[in-house]
Structure 1
Amino acid sequence: MKSTDLSFLVLGAGAIGGITAALLRKNGYDVEILCRDKEYASLISDKGLSISGICGSFTVRVPSYSSASEISSKKDIILHATKATDMSAALSDALPVLKESGFVVSMQNGICEDELASMAGTERIIGCVTGWGATMESRGALSMTSAGDFILGYPAKPPDDFLDILSEALSVIVPVRTTDNIMGHLYSKLVINSCITSLGAICGLYLGDMLRIRKVRKIFIEIIREAVSVADKMGIRIEVFGGRLDFRKFLSGTGFIAELRRHGLIRLIGFKYRRLKSSSLQSLERGKKTEIDYLNGYIVHNAMKYNLAVPVNSVVVDMIHEIESKKREITPENFSDKSFNRFN
């Protein structure tokens, strides 16, 4: 099989899914989109997706549908790019059009492979770390905002020739790496999102403003400490995040100098990405649910299996659920909650 023989169905036409589909289509691949919004699907089919940013500017029409029953041919690959909160319903609709020999590629934030595997089978899941950024400027107008790569791997077996073929296809979007430790890469991204994305949703601040607060940096460090302890119990070998942030080295050492080093690194992250606004915060502002259950919630869920206490991650999950249900406001005052008193 050649990469050009692959047929794709992209679930979700947000920034990541839409740009992925558009670039595949532009490069001659057989790709269709499934999104639940009938009007949006018609717009993509009839007028096309307008793409801009660092991948160039172009418009391309991609056949799009609001129901899998409208799709006439079975696919080799489902690229699952919906929000984690929508992924099960989306996959349930799409599975009938996946070939028996086909695969589901999970492109969500957080770790969703277990839930998807319960529906499609572990042997049909390919994990994917999406290391590039994009935004939807308006319906049908998508922009690639930052460069990066894809990391692909099977949850339960080493890379093979098929993964190389898929990598070749996806390399028309960004560079692709394969790994025999996809769970380690996914967990690494989960840890950083559990700090940056989740804490940003609690307080409503841009990252730079948030990480100037010493108490928040202490909470940040403890989220990482709890996450690493859970990974140890799960047997996950956490990869270095972005090729630079080694969580074990970050946590190593005690005393004033070691603590100063940790706080200094967090301040640097805050300065470099000072205008970053939490994606979970943006979801809350739009009245949408966050992906908290697949971020800090994943840590809490697995900690329970091993009777591990992860009090900080638990509080973060509870607070965001309270915000989602309108029982708590988004405010920096949330860090004054008595649950965080030990970080004063």
Structure 2
Amino acid sequence: MTVRIGLIGAGGMGRAHVDRIENDLAGGKIVAVADINIEGAKAVAEPLGAKAYGTGAELIADPDVDAVLIATFGKVHAPDVIAAIEAGKYVLSEKPLATTPEDCIAIMEAEQKAGKHLVTVGFMRRFDKGYNEMRDVLNSGDLGYATLVHCRHRNPSVPENYTTRNMIDDTAIHEIDTCRYLLGEEIVSVRVDTPRATSKKFDHLQDPLVLVAKTENGILIDDEVNVNIQFGYSIECELVMEAGTVRLTDQEHSAIRTGQVDKHAICQSHVDRFQDAFNQEFQQWIRAVERDEHTGSSSWDGYAATCVVDAGLESLENGGKEVAVKMIEKPAFYA
């Protein structure tokens, strides 16, 4: 069986996913592309012999589309995710699932009404080899339980339209979900600290930030978000346990030693750092759709991350005060 996939959102992320589905992975084919910019949709669709639509609703209603991939801006995800659920089609939505807890709740209510897990959220770090090795060490119990997690998310630079809010809702959201995945528990409070700003930033940006969070069992998480660090794209994480630590290994592609120099190549973007994780994520999703099964993170995971983001934004807007994360009781459907 070939899973016929419809892509909503023909921007850079959508095109990257088309490339991996068409050229790197097995079992899937892009048969339709939708974008508010219909010419952009046609530019992606026509070389593939796929259909082009101006709206997600039209694509979802197409009987030739088996499953839906959403790669639009987060604030417009909810209507298309809900429409896919109501059409009985599996959907992989790039993060965030939605930008408000209310929209996430509406998605969960639609999914529960459908009586079937159909939604996967694109938290690709759950498929990264290094993070999963860390998780295995913790779950083995050999080093005791977790006490601290130190995270670093560093970008060489960001575009001028990137905002301080984006440092939490677009960047730190990755560490938020990853720490929930690593630790297997919810985050219950957040504060956002603002260190001395770098001179490398745009004037409108507060950079860097440090997001500090606590989990249900009191594990402390600190996440440095530093988006104009200049030297490269560097994702770091160290998990501290009672009797030892485990951290992501260096991300260099190669190491060169000559004379008195020891130098390494450094990743420059999420594309080269997480290419394998993206491919693993999408290959698993395609194979699960073939089997009529759900895989990966759930709508609840998308909701939980959005609630933590909300608390972080409230802290940012209120001088770094600690803010409790407000969440509904977890429905049994997502247990």
Structures share a fold, TM > 0.5? no
Q: Given the two structures, how large is their TM-score scaled by the length of structure 1?
A: 0.39
TM-score normalised according to structure 2 size: 0.40
User: Relative contact order (C-alpha < 8 Å, sep 6+): which is higher?
Assistant: 2
